[in-house]
Structures are given as C-alpha cells and as structure tokens.
Amino acid sequence: MDLYEHQARELFAEHGILVPRAEITDSSKEAREIARRLGGRVVVKAQVKTGGRGKAGGVKVAADPAAAELTARQILGMDIKGHTVGTVMLAQPVDIEDEFYVSYVLDRTAGTFLAIASAEGGMEIEEVAAARPEAVARIPVDPAEGVTTATAARIATAAGLPPQTVDVLVRLWNVLTREDAVLVEVNPLVRTAQGQILALDGKVTLDDNARFRRERWGTRETAHGDPLEADAAAKGLNYVKLDGEVGIIGNGAGLVMSTLDVVAGCGARPANFLDIGGGASARTMADGLNVILSDPSVKSVLVNVFGGITACDAVADGIVSALDSVRLTKPLVVRLDGNNAARGRAVLDSRAHPLIQQVPTMDGAARRAAELATDAD
C-alpha cells in the first residue's frame, strides 16, 4: 500500500526526521488561509500516488496567499498519469543548498534490503541513474544487522553524501522496519543554506501483509488512488496499472510476470498486470476486458493463458461470452496452450470476431500485440 506524500512526511516527523511545515486541503479557498498561516509564500504540491508530479505541473511555487488559492485551483482536479488530484499540500519553501537521493527497498530476489543513494537528487535522478550509474550507490543491507551508525556512514561515504546525513539514514531505516514498509524513499533530501538536513518529499510503500497493523492508513486505497485500480478492486480483480500500451490478461502471477517481460522484450510497454487466477468465467473476462479497454493508453490487448485446472476451452467460452457485454474496440491477441487448447482455439475461430487474432506461442503473441500497438500510433 502506497502512502501519499503528506502521510510519508508524517511518519518521517514521528521518527525525528525534519520536514518543512505543511498542511493539506481539498479546497482552493482554504489554501489561501493555509498559505497565510505558513508565512505567505508556499509550495503547492498535488497529492497523488505516482511520480512525475513536478514535470506534469503538479508542483508549483505560489508567491502569496492569493497566488496559493489560484495555484491550488489549477492543480485540484488535474489528471497526473491517470490519478485525479483531490488534495494538495502547501509547504513552507526551503533555501536549498544541495539535493540528495536516498532510499531503502526490499530486494526480494536477494532476500535482503538495498540502500540506494546519490549526491545528485532531484527530478532528474532517473536520468542520472541511466546515464551515469556510477553516481548512484547501491549497498546491500543485512536485515538482521540493520542500519547502524557505522552502516549509515558507509552508505553516505559510498554515495558522496555529507556526514550530516548519517543520522537521517539511521532514522529512515527505523521508518522502514518499525512501520512495516518495503520501500522508503526521499527525493530530494536537502541540505539548506543554514546546514539543516530536511526531507522535502517522501514515498513510503507499506507491506500489504501488515495492513491489519496499519489501520490508521485504512485497509484499502483512499478515494483519489488510480481509478482503474479502484474499479478493478471493486470487481475483485488482481490488477495493477502500468505506463504502457499493451493490455495484458493471464492466469497465474508467474505467467503474467513472464508475459510482461516478453512484451517489453518485443519493444512495447505493458499497460497493466491482470491475473485472472484460476477463474476465467465470462464475468471475469468481461470485467477484465472492461477495465483494460477503459485505459486510453491501451492500443492492443494480449490474453496469454496456459490451461491447467482451468481449461483453455473455458477461457475461450469466457472470452466469447464477454463479447456479448463488452464492445471490443482494440485488437485482441489470444494465445491458448495446455489443457483443451485445441478446443479453445476452435471456439474462438467459430466466433470469427474481426479484432481477435490467435497466435500459438507466447513469444509470437507478444510480438504481434506489440506490432498492433505500434501500428495504432
């Protein structure tokens, strides 16, 4: 479960990490009053659970309370990568001397945590990591040992961070471990002209398995999360929105993850993760297709199913039945393999829908879906 920035900052403050004074509101009129309380000049920041807010125009400086009201009015209701802005945070501006990047993330493959840090934080950190990977330090952290002062000092030295950040690195580790998080990120962590180290922004992802211990944040995403994910959750679908153009439906998390990789290897970007699990009923397929086709970025859809407990003919029946309630507007590539695959293919052939194409292999199906998405541009 991702937290909003203002919630992450709340956790930081509880663990002794300095953050600028700030307040949140969903009213542009109230934004004027908040700006007055904070001293007049403020930074107005969209509160959505996605990155790239600054580049999208969701972070702006307002010179005075009147400007804060106008800026809040402009940002509220914005769409940022499919997220509607329902709340803004107004924060006191900071006299920045240097910007850094620091994070702790769970490395599931290695069975450990990873500290990632750089002396070059800010909006361009992704470009820095891609162009000059040596500028970003990656240090494994033993979960049993944790981040002691000595470990934090090693991280700071490896990343070129000033000594003043060592205490913050220890405190951020405390946020991670004591709050059941799998990701804690600060970008930027800044040094002010007065020498203070402050967290200007924050991202925290909590472990879903510990939701029962974190009821203060609610048991589900709040009202202004991704609308497609909210719609899918209401339908009981295991769906995650991604920034791509090929919609993906599969049965089983492992198969879906492999499909994402194969699509990416064909030069296209997956638009989502959607695992229908063992249930491929007409209702499940209809709900899945409805969610995926509601994403305006989707140019083609790939259904990749390996029949096991759920036979391929049942999947095909589900697709055909779903077409009675779903208006198919994008090309649909289907790969069926495994239990009753031949009959499943025959079911789809008999339906003869002009937008449905069948490809027998996963690689071939991914390649075709990628081609169709590219041709649609």
Q: Coil, helix or strand for 229?
A: helix
| Residue-wise DSSP of 16-62 | T-----EEEES-HHHHHHHHHHTTS-EEEEE--SSS-TTTTT-EEEE
Task: Quote the tokens at residue 321.
Answer: 């039945």
Q: Token pair 């040992």 is at which residue?
A: 145
Nearest CA to 148 out of 165, 123, 126, 173 is that of: 173
Q: Token pair 């403050």 is at which residue?
A: 13
Cis bond upstream, residue 188 (ω within 30): yes
CA atoms within 13 A of residue 291's CA, in its CB half-sphere: 31
Q: Token pair 């791509």 is at which residue?
A: 244
Cβ distance 85 to 24 under 8 Å? no
> Distance of alpha carbon 226 from its chain centroid, rounded?
9
β-sheet bridge partners, residue 204: 184
Active-site positions read: 101, 185
Q: Coil, helix or strand for 186?
A: strand
| Residue-wise DSSP of 245-311 | SEEEEESSHHHHHHHHHHHHHTT--B-EEEE-TT---HHHHHHHHHHHHT-TT--EEEEEEEESSS-
H-type alpha helices, the chain: 5-14, 28-37, 65-75, 125-131, 149-159, 166-178, 227-234, 253-265, 282-293, 312-322, 341-351, 362-376
